[in-house]
Amino acid sequence: MSKKSVGITGIGASLPKKIVTNKDLESVVDTTDEWIRKRTGIEERRVLEVGQNLSDLGAQAGKDAISSANISVDEIDMIIVATGSPELIWPSTACLVQQKMGANSAAAFDLQAACTGFTYGIDIACQLLSSGGYKNILLIGAEAMTRYVDWSDRSTCVLFGDGAAAVVIGEVEEGLGIISSDLGADGNGSDLLEIPNSGSAITHDKLGDVIDQTIKMNGADVFKFAVRVIPATIESLLNKSGVMLEDISLIVPHQANKRITYSAAEKLGISKEVMVSNISKYGNTGAASIPLALFGLENEGRLEKGDLIITVGFGAGLTWGSNLIKWSKTS
């Protein structure tokens, strides 16, 4: 039996209403709007307010994606939430999203590959659907990154934002959809980007201790890693797919830093215009950044049926991955 074609059939997004600009941060930490723009490309980011939770964003993004796919919530068999900032350790954010959506027919679990989570999720969903055991999978990238930010650390607090975006993945016209993926990890770099004391490794001698659970990053080494791994995983993906780089319409990278994106483009020998960037509006939204960018491209009419695109993620772990997709969603 031939493998069926599966791809993105619906897409949605949800963002907090609160916007924090670089100018706002000037009153919080020793930095300037000019410095942030020059070093990162970020101008503003969205921030969850008190009383709003990650599952609220995920559920709304999921509902929008289901509506976009023209199916009912009861037709979703599986919910996968890719997140590095879960609402709770347990239950999973996916189960909280399932309850808020009323998706009672769906299994649900979280996927933790940090900022590469959505890229991993694309391949996992593809494999599950290709097995014939599922028909429609809802993959959500959702992050509450600002809940893990040290607002006195100017090297990290300027980078991150909150948001969620979702895709429905299901059967599509033959020849379209998800063609292949390339995934990788290197735990030897686990100390370069981490949130300490955020799991069972927490150690303290007495109740009431203040535990540091904020993002710690070796920025220089993470930059070098990202600029190296983006071209490497794309080249590996193309080699296994038998596709030429010049056939690719757009590359949609994880939105971590505009200098990373453009340095990777230079290494690949492609124009900056091929590398999609929306970091100026949202900052680094972790596993949500790629689907948010896809949502923007779809709404702007920049994706046409049959376009070859690459999504590429990288992040803590260290993890990385890329997906080759022949666009199947039609507005």
Catalytic residues: 115, 254, 284
Q: CA neighbours within 13 Å on the CB side: how many for 188?
A: 3
Q: Output the six-digit token pair for 325.
A: 């997709």
Alpha-helical (H) ranges within the chain are 22-26, 33-40, 54-68, 93-101, 117-130, 219-241, 258-268, 279-282, 289-299
Q: Which of 44, 38, 37, 42 is nearest to 16 (CA)?
A: 44
C-alpha gyration radius of the chain: 19
Token digits of residue 92 = 């999973």
The helix-helix angle for 93-101 and 54-68 (nearest 10°) equals 60
Give the dihedral of Cα atoms 243, 245, 248, 250; nearest 10 deg: 140
Distance CA 136, CA 190 (A): 34
How far is Cα 70 from Cα 242, in angstroms, rounded to an integer?
33
What is d(CA 202, CA 69) in angstroms, rounded to the nearest whole number? Answer: 42
